[in-house]
């Protein structure tokens, strides 16, 4: 963690930054606030395909029905993100590999995690991309992100006590 700040800075990353990572940003922030964990969160994509766009309208609609308001604007991952964030969390193995290729040092690589690393009750090996699926896929993403966000809160609480 960045010792010069009270807040842990976390960047969530998926491919296009229009479904999974903006949802992770929004859901984790809500769960962290309830747990009284001081964080700053953002999201990015390993591609710039949707740079400047709002999150996918289906993702925003599904999230809104579950009490979350996704407002982030898509952007691409940048090398500077390794300076600005304490943790960079990938939604799947392809994202994880792409992020690690962007890392400039072993220290940068040490900041990279997979969202699946924080599952508490779910047994998935990644957060699936709902882009080409139906409504059920968007709901599944929210379910998985809620579970992993609870685990990430626990991880941060344990990390601060060490």
Phi, psi dihedrals of residue 90, rounded to the nearest 5°: -90, 145
Q: Say which of 42, 56, 129, 147 is annotated catalytic.
A: 129
CB 21 within 8 A of CB 43: yes
The CA radius of gyration of the chain, in Å to the nearest whole number, is: 14
Q: How many CA atoms lie within 13 A of 153 on its CB side?
A: 21
Q: Is 92 a catalytic residue?
A: no
- Whether 20 is catalytic is yes
Annotated catalytic residue: which of 9, 14, 42, 56? 14
Q: Which of 109, 114, 108 is nearest to 127 (CA)?
A: 114
The DSSP secondary structure of 115-160, one letter per residue, reads GGGG-SS---SS----TTS-HHHHHHHHHHHHHHHHHHHHHHHHHH
CB-CB contact of 87 with 111 (8 Å):
yes
Tell me whether residue 19 is one of the annotated catalytic residues.
no
Catalytic residue, candidates 9, 20, 60, 114:
20
Residues designated as active site = 14, 20, 129
């Amino acid at each position: 963690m960045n010792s010069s700040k009270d807040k842990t800075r976390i960047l969530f990353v998926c491919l296009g930054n229009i479904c999974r990572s903006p949802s992770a940003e929004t859901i984790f922030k809500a769960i962290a606030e309830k747990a009284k964990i001081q964080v700053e969160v953002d999201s990015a994509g390993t591609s710039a395909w949707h740079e400047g766009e709002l999150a996918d309208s289906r993702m925003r609609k599904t999230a809104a029905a579950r009490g979350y308001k996704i407002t982030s604007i898509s952007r691409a991952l940048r090398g500077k993100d390794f300076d600005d964030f304490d943790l960079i969390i990938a939604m799947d193995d392809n994202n994880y590999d792409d992020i690690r290729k962007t890392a400039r040092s072993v220290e940068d690589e040490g900041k990279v995690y997979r969202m699946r690393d924080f599952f508490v009750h779910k047994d998935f090996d990644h957060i699936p991309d709902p882009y080409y699926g139906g409504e059920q896929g968007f709901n599944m993403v929210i379910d998985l992100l809620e579970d992993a966000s609870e685990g990430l809160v626990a991880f941060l609480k344990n990390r601060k006590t060490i």
